[in-house]
Structure formats: C-alpha cells, structure tokens
C-alpha cells in the first residue's frame, strides 16, 4: 500500500528511531520509517498531510551539534539520522472568549503576560517547521500589530515546537492565535456582502423560491436545475 512502499532500487540506510538503530529504504518519511520498522504510531500522527501539527519531531545528524526539528509526516529520513517524535509538548493556553474582550491589545498582557518577556534569542524562528518568523510575530503582538501577526503566521500548524525552545517559556503559537482572532473579530470590519445577505435571509426574501423548488416534482426540479 502507498504509505511506505520502497521505490525501485532504493538504497538501504541506517537511521535511529527512539534511540535504536534500524535499516530502512531511502525515500521514506519519518512516520513511514516507523511503520516500516514495525512501530505502531497513534500519538504523533494526524492528517499525514503536513497541516495538523500532530507529528512534531526532533532529530540530529552525525557530526553536527545542531538539534533539528521537523514534521515527521513530511520529512524524509537520511543516512544516520536519529530522531524521536514529541507529539504533545505541554503549553499554556489562556482561557478567554474573543467576543467578550474590549481592548484586545491590553488584554494580551493580562492573558499572556509572558509575551512581553521575549529575549530575542530567535530560537523559535529557527525551530519552526513551517518557516514562520515566530520571534517577529511575538514582537508584533506585543506592539499591537495584530495584522502583521496574521499575515506572518497563517501557516502555523500549532505543533508547539516553538514552545519547546522558548527561553522565556512562552507559547508563541497560542499568542499568535489570539492575535489573529483579535484582528479578525475586532479590527476587521464585518464583511458587507455577508451582512447584506444575512439581512435578506432574515427578511425571508429567499423563502418562497426555496419552497417552490422543494414543491417541484423530481423531473421538473431536474429540468430546472439542468440549466446553467
């Protein structure tokens, strides 16, 4: 089945999974390499499409002191890579209701006071598997530029790897979520076209036409809908 098949003539390479060595064919993702070696993966697997953030992983390469991070469903194993999944990194999430907040910029420092303690180390940006400039987003949030946060963090998959590295111990992905929601719900104007359509629906403008369609015989309904 498609999920980890071995391409023709694939070379076998040595990898370390959770501290144990295995031989796997080149061309597999980390998750596929775990399946290939018989691991059952339940925690650390979600969409398998790189958007759900369930499969955060850390890895090292030989002769390189750097600790690398990745999404395990999207990252190919390499010769002598050693890796482990960290599927659920604990992080603090504020309990708030966006609709009830009066001054979102002030509120940020109440619900996430630690956001102001960023020490500019940039580790969050370096760790982000989505290539987001996380440090920049945190500072924009602090300065109230929620639009800038929204534009810079739209691809965040909430994997929490930034939390794992933050020396100020904040949760940048949660702060960014708050800033995006505040921007969308409070700074952006409620869309006119949606507002107008809601008013018309409320006034019953479409009821007769929908009721008429539902009253048609199957043949008549088909004939009417066939016309583009």
Residues 111-140 that bind another protein (CB under 8 A): 130-131
- Residue closer to another protein by CB (options 22, 135) is 22
- Residue closer to another protein by CB (options 110, 119) is 110
Kindly tell me which residue out of 19, 20, 65, 210 binds another protein, with binding defined by CB under 8 A: 210
- Residue closer to another protein by CB (options 7, 62) is 7
Phi and psi based region of residue 206 (left: phi greater than 0; alpha: psi -120 to 50; beta: remaining)? alpha
Distance CA 111, CA 148 (A): 20
Tell me the C-alpha to C-alpha distance, in Å, between residue 218 and each of 11, 85, 211, 224: 60, 54, 14, 10
Scan for tokens 């023709």, then name that residue.
Answer: 8
Kindly tell me which residue out of 56, 84, 99, 172 binds another protein, with binding defined by CB under 8 A: 99
- Residue closer to another protein by CB (options 93, 119) is 93
- Residue closer to another protein by CB (options 19, 49) is 49
**Binding residues for another protein, total number by CB under 8 A:** 80
Distance CA 14, CA 23 (A): 5
Tell me the C-alpha to C-alpha distance, in Å, between residue 45 and each of 5, 31, 83, 169: 18, 8, 15, 25
Kindly tell me which residue out of 75, 115, 125, 142 binds another protein, with binding defined by CB under 8 A: 75
Beta bridge partners, 76, equal: 29
Stretch that binds another protein, among 60-68, 95-103, 114-122, 133-141 (CB under 8 A): 95-103
- Residue closer to another protein by CB (options 82, 128) is 128
Residue 51 binds to another protein (criterion: CB under 8 A): yes
Kindly tell me which residue out of 64, 100, 194, 203 binds another protein, with binding defined by CB under 8 A: 194
Tell me the C-alpha to C-alpha distance, in Å, between residue 127 and each of 15, 39, 132, 150, 199: 21, 26, 9, 19, 47
Kindly tell me which residue out of 15, 17, 28, 86 binds another protein, with binding defined by CB under 8 A: 28
Kindly tell me which residue out of 12, 113, 188, 220 binds another protein, with binding defined by CB under 8 A: 188
Residue 96 binds to another protein (criterion: CB under 8 A): yes
Kindly tell me which residue out of 14, 58, 61, 74 binds another protein, with binding defined by CB under 8 A: 74
Residue 110 binds to another protein (criterion: CB under 8 A): no
Residue 86 binds to another protein (criterion: CB under 8 A): no
Token reading at 37: 């070696």
């Amino acid at each position: 089945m498609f999920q980890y098949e071995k391409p023709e003539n694939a070379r076998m390479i040595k990898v370390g999974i959770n501290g144990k060595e295995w031989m796997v064919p080149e061309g597999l993702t980390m998750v596929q390499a775990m399946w290939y070696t018989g691991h059952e993966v339940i925690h650390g697997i979600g969409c398998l499409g790189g958007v759900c953030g369930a499969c955060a992983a850390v890895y090292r390469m030989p002769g390189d002191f750097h600790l690398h991070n990745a999404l395990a469903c999207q990252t190919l194993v390499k010769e002598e890579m050693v890796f482990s999944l960290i599927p659920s990194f604990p992080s603090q999430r504020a309990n708030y209701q966006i609709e009830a907040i009066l001054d979102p910029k002030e509120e940020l420092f109440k619900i996430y006071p630690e956001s102001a303690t960023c020490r500019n180390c940039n580790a969050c940006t370096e760790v982000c598997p989505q290539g987001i400039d996380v440090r920049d987003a945190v500072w924009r949030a602090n300065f109230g530029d929620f639009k800038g946060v929204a534009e810079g963090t739209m691809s965040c998959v909430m994997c929490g790897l930034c939390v794992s590295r933050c020396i100020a111990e904040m949760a940048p992905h949660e702060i960014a979520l708050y800033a995006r929601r505040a921007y969308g719900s409070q700074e952006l104007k409620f869309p006119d076209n949606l507002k107008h359509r809601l008013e018309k629906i409320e006034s019953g403008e479409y009821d007769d036409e929908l009721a008429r369609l539902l009253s048609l015989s199957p043949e008549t309904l088909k004939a009417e809908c066939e016309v583009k």
